[in-house]
């Protein structure tokens, strides 16, 4: 990343705002679709249609030379993301948009835990404290023992867990492969993984339902693209806090279009999770600057 990209924080914030709007658009469209189309079929059609948006990356995909390790990682990521997407669509049709958005913030927290447990990364006391606060935020949202837990909440926690594993593999693949290749492979493997789950429960979608799923695919593709532009224009310490606005948009869309009353517990839990994510992001940035400073000092005579 060049210095010119790093010095455009307002541009990064703008792209991240657009990203949040796109992702909330995805949840709103899936919420509108409802359970009329089975979750596995809706997810399959979303990725099948989304593959059309990735057609320009096909020549690059054909030129890519993947090693056996890459294929194993791609296959594993396809399995994890397939499970996550199926659970996400299931949850989205059954619980409020704000609940889905807030619980989805667990992704970076679970990635932090996974990196410590599976990759041996050090989990310092401050980061551990942030993780605990985020998990407490999830409990505030779900409130086990204080209300009947909807299967949609459990599905969303499961989706966040599977997505965390998928993103960890994506990070490993990004060391060797181009981003367009990684996204294209993910879309193809998830579509293939969902096909056996979708066919047994297949119902013929109406033109309106196909239009909604096309909108889902378009919003999701645009959101990932805008996110890439945001990361190029500014550091994570600038873009990460902006993701909190997704919860605000989700609450507003749920209230205005679906009659979902804002739940103060969901907002509180979401704030706790987002605060933890922001803290971990800023902490990582501080450590990188400190290490870079020490490296510069070490080179001085």
> DSSP states of 3-21 as a string?
HHHHT-HHHHHHHHHHHHH
What pLDDT score does 20 carry? 86
Tokens of 180: 């367009």
**Enclosing domain of residue 181:** 3-299
Tokens of 125: 């006391």
Contact 134, 111 (CB under 8 A): no
| Residue 17 pLDDT exceeds 70 | yes
What pLDDT score does 187 carry? 85
Alpha helices of the chain — where are they, by DSSP H?
3-6, 9-33, 39-53, 58-63, 68-92, 97-104, 106-118, 125-142, 151-173, 179-198, 207-233, 236-239, 245-258, 264-299
Rg from Cα positions in the chain:
20
Lowest-confidence region among 3-7, 31-35, 112-116 = 3-7
Lowest-confidence region among 15-19, 63-67, 97-101 = 63-67
What pLDDT score does 146 carry? 66
Contact 221, 54 (CB under 8 A): yes
Using CA atoms, how far apart are residues 53 and 271, in angstroms rounded to an integer? 34
Cβ partners under 8 Å of residue 270, min gap 6:
98, 101, 102, 105, 137, 141, 244, 247
Q: What is the DSSP letter of 243?
A: G
What is the band of 296 on the pLDDT scale with cuts at 50, 70, 90? very low
> Would you put residue 202 in left (φ > 0), alpha (ψ -120 to 50) or beta?
beta
Tokens of 286: 């501080």
Domains held by the chain: number: 1
Using CA atoms, how far apart are residues 28 and 41, in angstroms rounded to an integer? 18
Highest mean pLDDT among 49-58, 158-167, 257-266, 277-286: 158-167
What is the band of 78 on the pLDDT scale with cuts at 50, 70, 90? very high
Q: What digits encode the pLDDT tens for the residues 212-249?
A: 999 998 898 888 778 777 877 776 666 766 777 788 88
In three-state secondary structure terms, 225 is helix
Using CA atoms, how far apart are residues 158 and 88, in angstroms rounded to an integer? 8
Mutual angle of helices 97-104 and 264-299, in 10-degree steps: 20
Percent of the chain at pLDDT exceeding 70: 88
When pLDDT is averaged across residues 86-92 and rounded to a whole number, the result is 88
| Residue 282 pLDDT exceeds 50 | yes
What pLDDT score does 299 carry? 44
CA-based end-to-end distance of the chain? 29
Tokens of 181: 């290749």
| Residue 72 pLDDT exceeds 90 | yes
| Residue 3 pLDDT exceeds 60 | no
Mean of pLDDT over the chain:
82
């Amino acid at each position: 990343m060049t210095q010119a990209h790093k010095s455009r924080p307002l541009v990064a914030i703008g792209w991240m705002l657009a990203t949040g709007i796109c992702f909330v658009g995805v949840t709103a469209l899936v919420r509108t679709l409802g359970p009329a189309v089975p979750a596995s079929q809706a997810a399959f059609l979303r990725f099948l249609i989304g593959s059309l948006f990735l057609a320009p990356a096909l020549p690059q995909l054909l030129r890519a030379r993947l090693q056996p390790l890459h294929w194993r990682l791609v296959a594993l990521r396809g399995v994890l993301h397939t499970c996550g997407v199926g659970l996400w669509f299931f949850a989205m049709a059954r619980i409020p948009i704000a609940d889905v958005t807030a619980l989805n913030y667990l992704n970076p927290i679970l990635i932090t835990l996974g990196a410590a447990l599976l990759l041996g990364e050090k989990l310092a006391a401050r980061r551990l404290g942030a993780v605990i606060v985020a998990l407490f935020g999830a409990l505030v949202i779900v409130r086990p023992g204080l209300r009947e837990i909807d299967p949609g909440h459990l599905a969303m926690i499961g989706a966040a867990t599977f997505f965390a594993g998928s993103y960890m593999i994506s990070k490993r693949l990004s060391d060797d492969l181009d981003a367009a290749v990684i996204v294209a492979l993910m879309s193809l493997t998830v579509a293939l993984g969902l096909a056996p789950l979708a066919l047994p429960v297949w119902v013929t979608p109406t033109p309106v339902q196909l239009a909604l799923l096309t909108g889902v695919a378009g919003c999701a593709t645009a959101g990932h693209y805008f996110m890439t532009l945001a990361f190029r224009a500014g550091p994570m310490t600038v873009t990460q806090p902006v993701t909190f606005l997704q919860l605000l948009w989700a609450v507003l869309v749920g209230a205005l279009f679906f009659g979902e009353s804002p739940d103060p517990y969901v907002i509180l839990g979401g704030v706790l999770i987002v605060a933890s994510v922001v803290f971990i992001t800023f902490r990582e940035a501080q450590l990188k600057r400190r290490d870079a400073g020490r490296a510069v000092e070490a080179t001085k005579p």
